Amino acid sequence: MKTVADYIKSIPDFPKPGIVFRDVTSVLESPEGFKLAMDEMIKRLDGVEFDLIAGAEARGFIFGAPIAYALGKGFVPVRKKGKLPRETVSMAYELEYGTAEIEIHKDAIKPGQKIVIVDDLIATGGTIEASTRLIEELGGEVVKVLFLIELPGLNGRARLEKYDVESIVSFDGE
């Protein structure tokens, strides 16, 4: 029986020599792989009480929205700055070579709502750390952070140590 890891292609020396890129699009291209990934992620939410799923642009949308649909929950997109049409709150964060900024609609999360954050991969954890801060700024409570893939060698989980963090597949190295 295949596992989610069996559907993830490893691309050596991308985007630079010495890096092994974990390609999640190979999961999406396979009906069986995508269904297995969704089923595994949904299983990790069994018994978790929450109101909404938030997903980080762009692959967090791909995984988070179907989970929200399957579980009868709303979905909140966490977008790059300047992409949302209504009033937003934003958060800047550090990248390896600079900074980035993400936003959430100011009215998307109500005080007291319980939120699950979904994304495809945790590496350094910067985007999701910024997402947790935005959700909390709006009065939401992050009750779980769920990833398809984790790269533990990049120590992103340390930035999220106060949250319930779970991943489906873990790969050593960068």
Catalytic residue IDs: 59, 96
How far, in whole angstroms, is CA 93 from its chain's centroid? 16
Tokens 């398809």 sit on residue: 148
| CB-CB contact of 127 with 100 (8 Å) | yes
Q: Can you state the angle between helices 31-43 and 59-71, rounded to 10 degrees?
A: 60
| CB-CB contact of 163 with 131 (8 Å) | no
